[in-house]
Amino acid sequence: MSSPVLIVGSVAIDDVRTPAGERENCLGGAAVYSAVAASFFTGVNLVGVVGSDFPGEYVAFLGERGINLDGLQRAQGQTFRWAGYYEAEDLNQAHSLETRLNVFADFRPDLPESYRDDEFIFLACIDPELQLQVLGQVRSPRLAVCDTRDFWIVGKRDALVEVLKKSDVVIINDGEARLLCETNNNVQAARRILELGPRFVIIKKGEHGAMLFSREAVFAAPSFPLAEVVDPTGAGDTFAGAFTGYLAGSGEISFENMKRAVAWGTVAASFAIQDFSLERMKTLAFEDMRTRYAGLKAIAAFE
């Protein structure tokens, strides 16, 4: 049975430069990318904050995707803004030019009452103390998925470890996993994270795919090969949103279904990076996703 997914994280306005060009005042933020991706599979309840400058057209787009915005706080001031660029030599690495938290600096996630019974939760990459606040407000989640980044691993390690202990799935990239676990081996890193309490760990490897770990099994998924990448911003958030949204939509939590969710996350991310911001996601049809999903299965299959 399909369930909505609760997504808590940043809503932003981005300025981005890549080898393919540059765009200003783009819709961005971890909560936005993940919510749009999840909305292809199930309903979404979003929690975040925007300023008085947040364009109405962006609110309308999120509403058109069926995303519930009852938890989107509106504060006086400017929306969180990020400016950055990518170099052709390494499109996996974002280089920040400017980060202005603005109203996001005072963000405190206050879940509407109707959100507190949600069974599937994605805690996007925000302060782990805020992630803990969210976990303290939901009543009986079936699956809590969390993301993080190196900033929190270094700056708030103790709080982050508490989040990991309370999460069912941890999504992390390979560099962050190695930093967190003080090892250069992804398998060792995954095992150490699993020892903290999560049932599953996903280590993302950018263009080299992703690995899913449980205590009993391992699954490796390739990325979908693309001839051109336009804008990698939000790829990881898109992956996580589609992953969690698929699980919430299917209602099945098992390692086999997790494998399918990883594949759907990979497919969604492959579309997101083909244009700036969420432009490709605006025109994407689910049938396009289904076709690419079949293509990914064919690429990975062997006897």
Read off the pLDDT of residues 153-187 as tens digits, 9 standing for 90 and up.
Answer: 999 999 999 999 999 999 999 999 999 999 999 99
Q: Check pLDDT > 90 for residue 90.
A: no
221 band by pLDDT with thresholds 50, 70 and 90 = very high
What CATH number corresponds to the domain at position 40? 3.40.1190.20
Q: Is 37 exposed, middle or buried (0-12, 13-18, 19+ CB in 10 A)?
A: buried
Q: Check pLDDT > 70 for residue 207.
A: yes
Span 50-70, pLDDT tens digits: 999 999 999 999 999 999 999
Span 137-158, pLDDT tens digits: 999 999 999 999 999 999 999 9
Per-residue confidence (pLDDT) for residue 1, from 0 to 100: 65
Query: 93 versus 284: which is more confidently predicted?
Result: 284
Tally the domains of the chain.
1
Mean pLDDT of all residues belonging to the chain: 96
Whether the Cβ atoms of residue 232 and residue 262 lie closer than 8 Å to each other:
no
Range of the domain at 50: 5-300
The residue assigned the tokens 């490897």 is 205
303 band by pLDDT with thresholds 50, 70 and 90 = confident
Sequence-separated (6 or more) residues with CB below 8 Å from residue 186: 174, 177, 178, 203, 205, 211
Q: Check pLDDT > 70 for residue 120.
A: yes
Per-residue confidence (pLDDT) for residue 255, from 0 to 100: 97
Q: Check pLDDT > 70 for residue 108.
A: yes
